[in-house]
Structure 1
């Protein structure tokens, strides 16, 4: 049983594009997904305690651009040594 009172550290991981001036590359998105997977599988094992789903539609000239991102809040009992 997971209890929020056990959470001593929260890592916020953004997967996707948040800046219209600079779109996230496929490598950056994959690196964020790899970090999320490591947070959920390595010791100390984290748990997802919250999720934000964001999108915005921008008109740039004649084109519409959709920015999408998902922000995961991963809770840990203590800060993992492998997180910077």
Structure 2
């Protein structure tokens, strides 16, 4: 048996990261979406290592004037045994 097994009960901090456009009033640029995805990758590969607990996938249809747009986004919930110190820098 591995000494460092994953258990949900050990999660003391959960980081919620939205990747994509979830608000038609405040559209995110491609650079902001890429920055969010980089944060997900850093949480899963950095130290302390985060664990992917859940992914919410959603979309919305919006009418703006005569145009209909579709916004898609994913919300990643990454759990940590303790809050990483480097997350304070990104707050």
TM-score by length of 2: 0.88
**Structure (1/2) with the larger helix percentage:** 2
Give the paired residue count.
84
After TM superposition, which residue ranges in structure 1, 4 or more long, deviate above 2 angstroms? none
Distance 2:48 2:18 in 1: 20
Please tell me whether residue 21 in structure 1 is matched to residue 25 in structure 2: yes
Kindly state the Cα deviation for residue 51 of structure 1 after the two structures are TM-superposed: 1.0
- In structure 1, stretches of 5+ residues that fail to align are none
- Look up the match of 1:9: 13
SS in 1 for 2:73: strand
- Where do 5+ consecutive residues of structure 2 fail to align? none
Deviation at 1:22, TM superposition (A): 1.8
- What RMSD over aligned residues (CA atoms) do the two structures have, in Å? 0.8
Give the drift of 1:83: 0.2
